[in-house]
Amino acid sequence: MWFWNSLIIIGIFWVISSLFSFMQTIKINNAIKEYEKFGQVFFGKDAGFMRTRLLIIMSIDESGYIARATRLNTTFMLLPPREKYFSEIISYNIKEVENQLSFFNNRTQKALQNLISNYYNKSVA
């Protein structure tokens, strides 16, 4: 009997986790559609061991200034994704943000470094 009970509980957790992942995908797609109006859209993630916990979505105009930015704490087990407007870096140049990375926490630093490298790799291409 314990086998079937544990199987039902695992199934419920799987359904809830799938729902949260779907919600996260919807939030990312909505942010992309909104941010494309303001410039090129870039992503940065803090790729850790086995998973990403923070995703930064940013819209950067032609001159390198940040028009919009969002921090998305990704879903984890039974925690839904949390989206927060990243107002601290709006209207700064991406090069200024690169020089001020030490003011952010470790996860945000990793995500911003990843975003900046994506920006330079896309700009060069």
CATH of the domain at 35: 3.90.1010
Question: What pTM does this model have?
Answer: 0.78
One-letter amino acid identity for 22? F
Mean pLDDT confidence for 1-9:
88
- For the chain, what is the domain count? 1
Could you count the other beta carbons within 10 Å of the beta carbon of residue 50? 5
The residue among 21, 3, 6, 4 whose CA lies nearest residue 78 is 21
Cβ-contact 59, 35 below 8 angstroms: yes
The domain containing residue 89 runs over which residues? 2-124
Q: Report DSSP state, residue 91.
A: T
Distance, CA of 111 to chain centre: 8
Distance of alpha carbon 39 from alpha carbon 74, whole angstroms = 24
pLDDT, tens digit (0-9, with 9 covering 90-100), for 17-71: 888 888 888 888 888 888 888 888 898 888 766 677 788 888 988 888 888 888 8
